[in-house]
């Protein structure tokens, strides 16, 4: 079972927050749209009097808090077109750029008798220093206006605002998830707790927290104010929170762009309100909304039976690297140390352990048992995994008795990737046998095995891949490739343990 975890720092003291106007500000309107690699991306009205015509160009500038370092330059002509550009978002992992753009030029509107100019979302691919048109966003059509993109690297969601006839208010917030094949799924509304009677715009995500600006959220508000909610909170139907008055002013405040977990840039007309011209400000919350450091977390189990946890062979593994994490078993559960942002971890334990719920949260030595109680995860299903003594590779002689019953090398279920423990085992083999085998030109066998779960041909191939993994590692340590014979043993016969393992996957999202 996998789940996401957003850990909100409830101790943020916004009284220490600061907000100051930057040197970017001018007589025109500037709107912050993205921050990347030391550059602030923003769009600027071509003429202060033409702001209502949405005539904006995209620029970027190297900036250090309040002052620019050099001259602002327009982003190349791939993105700045004859149409008016607006909010953009970078998808670093897929090298994509999402750009808001008006559907028509003023001339096209006049020629075709259009009285409104909807927004559309254009997707570009980054190729070197250029941007190549890919396609329009799948939700873009002539019957709706869609823009204000923000891509979340953690959840693979593209958040956006769209104005449709069936929405809650004006512009409502939605997301589509990008699958591994590069296709977007169906759009999902963020729901009435987030989408209000007015417009909900300018989404941005930092460390698993969604920030956005909303009009008319309640009877006390008539301007754009900034709200925030964790991405996990969206799924759980929680209510968003409004940032305090030091960040939200009597004017419009929107377009937050972070340079770290607590500071960045926002757009506001707080000094000109109710005039629409906006400026870019530097802000610092004084502390991060989400804790940035590595966490020690506590996995607390509500057991059905009274028993000691150390009887159930717990192991916590980084799913990608197969590295086992340091853990401490205490009366409340398992303390796992140095959990990092966005990585998927697996909690392995014996099938005999029977429990109803799993709680997960930050743990500090100052506050033992400090569990994030709101994150109670009911275990409705678990994955049973055969014990890995049968998922192994054995090493033996072919012509001599040099190798004396060396210990087997074990693999994770349905995997042929060497684990750190497997590499340590092979390193022992290198120390003990390499010199004599290389000097004597001895051949030896590596036989791979699997458990009996799954198709026979699949297991045969998996056992061969395991043997090849061991061979490749030994060759990298100096053994002659021609001295190693590999065999695909398939399913390992003989008596195996009837104990199974269960696995719970968890991810800490910042």
pLDDT category, 51, cuts 50, 70, 90? very low
Half-sphere exposure of 86 (CA within 13 A, CB side): 23
Q: What Cα–Cα distance (Å) separates residue 82 from each residue in 44, 107, 320, 498?
A: 15, 11, 45, 69
Total count of residues recorded for the chain:
510
Shared domain check, 264 and 316: no
- How many H-runs (helices) and E-runs (strands) does the chain carry? 4, 35
pTM (2 d.p.): 0.59
Contact 88, 100 (CB under 8 A): yes
Shared domain check, 256 and 190: yes
Residue 504 lies in a domain: no
Shared domain check, 97 and 227: yes
Q: Domain residues for 458?
A: 388-491
For residue 447, the domain's CATH number is 3.30.1330.60
Shared domain check, 273 and 374: no
For residue range 376-420, list pLDDT tens digits in order.
333 333 333 333 444 566 666 555 556 655 777 877 767 788 877
Shared domain check, 395 and 374: no
Shared domain check, 36 and 159: yes
For residue range 270-320, list pLDDT tens digits in order.
887 777 788 999 999 988 776 554 556 666 666 555 556 666 677 777 777
Shared domain check, 152 and 13: yes
How many percent of the chain have pLDDT more than 70? 70
pLDDT category, 203, cuts 50, 70, 90? very high
> In the chain, how many domains are there?
3
Shared domain check, 24 and 116: yes
Residue 289 lies in a domain: no
509: nearest Cα among 148, 168, 219, 233: 233
Residue 500 lies in a domain: no
Give yes or no for residue 482 having a pLDDT over 90. no
Which of 380, 401, 420 lies at the terminal end of a domain, its last residue? 380
* Residue 391 pLDDT: 56
For residue 190, the domain's CATH number is 2.115.10
Q: According to the 3-state scheme, what is the secondary structure of 153-219?
A: CCCCEEEEEEECCCCCCCEEEEEEEECCCCCECCCEECCCCCCCCCCEEEEEEECCEEEEEECCCCC
* Residue 319 pLDDT: 72
Residue 280 lies in a domain: yes
* Residue 48 pLDDT: 44
Residue 248 lies in a domain: yes
Shared domain check, 159 and 58: yes
Shared domain check, 238 and 173: yes
For residue range 239-281, list pLDDT tens digits in order.
898 998 889 998 999 999 999 888 999 999 988 777 778 899 9
Residue 155 lies in a domain: yes
- Number of neighbouring beta carbons within 10 Å of residue 229: 21
Which of 284, 309, 334 lies at the terminal end of a domain, its last residue? 284
The strands making up 171-177's β-sheet, listed across from edge to edge, are 145-152, 157-163, 171-177, 188-189
Residue 496 lies in a domain: no
Give yes or no for residue 63 having a pLDDT over 90. no
Which of 345, 380, 415 lies at the terminal end of a domain, its last residue? 380
Shared domain check, 27 and 65: yes
Contact 88, 36 (CB under 8 A): no
For the chain, the average pLDDT equals: 75
Shared domain check, 264 and 400: no
What is the mean predicted confidence (pLDDT) over 472-482?
A: 91
Residue 364 lies in a domain: yes
């Amino acid at each position: 079972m996998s789940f996401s975890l957003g850990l909100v720092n409830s101790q943020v003291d916004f009284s220490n927050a600061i907000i100051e106007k930057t040197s970017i500000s001018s007589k025109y309107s500037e709107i912050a749209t993205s921050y990347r690699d030391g550059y602030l991306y923003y769009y600027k009205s071509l003429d202060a009097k033409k702001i209502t015509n949405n005539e904006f160009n995209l620029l970027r500038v190297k900036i250090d808090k309040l002052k620019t370092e050099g001259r602002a330059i327009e982003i190349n002509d791939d993105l700045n077109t004859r149409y008016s550009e607006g909010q953009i978002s970078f998808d670093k992992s897929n090298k994509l750029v999402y750009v808001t753009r008006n559907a028509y030029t003023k001339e096209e509107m006049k020629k075709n008798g259009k009285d409104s100019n909807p927004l559309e979302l254009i997707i570009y691919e980054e190729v070197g220093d250029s941007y190549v048109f890919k396609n329009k966003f799948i939700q873009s059509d002539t019957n709706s206006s869609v823009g204000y993109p923000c891509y979340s690297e953690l959840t693979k969601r593209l958040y956006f605002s769209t104005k449709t006839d069936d929405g809650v208010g004006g512009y409502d917030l939605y997301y589509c998830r990008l699958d591994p094949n590069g296709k977007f799924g169906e759009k999902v509304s963020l729901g009435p707790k987030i989408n209000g009677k007015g417009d909900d715009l300018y989404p941005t995500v930092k460390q698993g927290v969604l920030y956005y600006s909303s009009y008319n959220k309640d009877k006390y508000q008539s301007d754009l104010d900034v709200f925030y909610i964790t991405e996990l909170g969206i799924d759980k139907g929680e209510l968003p929170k409004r940032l305090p008055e030091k960040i939200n002013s009597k004017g419009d405040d929107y377009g937050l762009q972070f340079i770290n977990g607590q500071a960045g840039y926002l757009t506001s007309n707080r000094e000109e309100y109710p005039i629409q011209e906006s400026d870019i400000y530097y802000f610092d919350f004084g502390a991060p909304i989400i804790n940035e450091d590595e966490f020690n977390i506590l996995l607390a189990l509500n057991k059905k039976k009274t028993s000691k946890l150390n009887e159930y062979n717990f192991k916590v593994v980084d799913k990608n690297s197969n590295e086992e994490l340091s853990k401490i078993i205490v009366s409340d559960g398992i303390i796992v140390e140095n959990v990092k942002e966005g990585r998927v971890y697996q909690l392995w334990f014996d099938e005999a352990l029977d429990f109803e719920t799993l709680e997960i949260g930050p743990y500090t030595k100052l506050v033992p048992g400090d569990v994030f109680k709101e994150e109670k995860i009911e275990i409705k299903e678990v994955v049973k995994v055969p014990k890995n003594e049968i998922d192994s590779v054995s090493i033996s002689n072919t012509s001599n008795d040099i190798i004396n019953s060396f210990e087997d090398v074990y693999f994770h279920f349905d995997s042929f990737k060497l684990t750190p423990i497997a590499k340590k085992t092979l390193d022992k083999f290198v120390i003990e046998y390499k010199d004599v085998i290389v000097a004597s030109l001895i051949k030896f066998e590596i036989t791979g095995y699997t458990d009996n779960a799954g198709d026979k041909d699949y297991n045969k191939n998996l056992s061969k891949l395991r043997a090849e993994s061991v061979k490749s590692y030994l060759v990298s340590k100096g053994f002659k490739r021609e001295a190693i014979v590999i065999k695909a043993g398939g399913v390992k016969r003989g008596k195996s343990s009837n104990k199974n393992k269960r696995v719970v996957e968890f991810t800490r999202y910042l």
